[in-house]
């Protein structure tokens, strides 16, 4: 059976759907910082079946943000503060606890965006690279959290 790469999105143990994402393509986790209210974007790729953090962008260098010494290269890019070339192994899965509607946690690929905060605030959301059957990919649904 032929398979294609995807990201499985799980809400508290229940699969809510898959996002197409091939090795080397970018998954962006976007949200609004809960303290300073400014946007943050973190880019990850899939490498050898694992999630790898590649870069992070924030409008302001605020609480919990910035470059970890020896990890990546920091630079200004217009209004954004960017840390590139992080190459941080996240693992076989990533666990998120989406914040409130004001935090607006989102998963974004080149083809789709999934808003987590409106329905999954404080839920345990797991994102994991998987391979799904071509048929499941064609008939499957993009994750659409239900309130």
Give the DSSP letter string of 46-94. EETTEEEEEEEEESS--TT-SPPTTSSEEEEETTEEEEE---EEEES-E
**pLDDT of res. 141:** 62
Average pLDDT value over all residues in the chain = 89
pLDDT in tens, 16-64: 999 989 899 999 999 998 788 889 999 999 999 999 999 999 986 655 5
pLDDT in tens, 61-119: 655 556 666 777 888 899 898 999 999 999 999 999 999 999 999 999 998 899 999 99
Residue % of the chain over a pLDDT of 70: 90
Q: Does the pTM of the predicted model rise above 0.85?
A: yes
**pLDDT of res. 36:** 82
Question: Is 80 exceeded by the pLDDT of residue 138?
Answer: no
**pLDDT of res. 1:** 77
Rounded-to-integer distance, Cα 126 and Cα 130, Å = 12
């Amino acid at each position: 059976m032929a398979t294609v790469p995807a990201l499985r999105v799980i809400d508290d143990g229940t699969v809510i759907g898959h996002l197409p994402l091939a090795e080397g393509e970018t998954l962006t986790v976007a949200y609004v910082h809960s303290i300073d209210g400014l946007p943050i974007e973190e880019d990850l790729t899939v490498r050898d079946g694992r999630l790898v953090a590649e870069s992070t962008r924030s409008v302001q260098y605020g609480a919990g943000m910035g470059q970890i010494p020896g990890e990546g290269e920091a630079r200004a890019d217009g209004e954004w503060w960017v840390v590139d070339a992080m190459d941080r192994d996240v693992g076989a899965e990533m666990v998120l606890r989406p914040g409130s509607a004001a935090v607006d946690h989102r998963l974004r690929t080149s083809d789709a965006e999934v808003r987590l905060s409106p329905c999954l605030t404080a839920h345990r959301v797991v994102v994991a690279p998987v391979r799904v059957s071509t048929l499941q990919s064609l008939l499957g649904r993009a994750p659409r959290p239900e309130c």
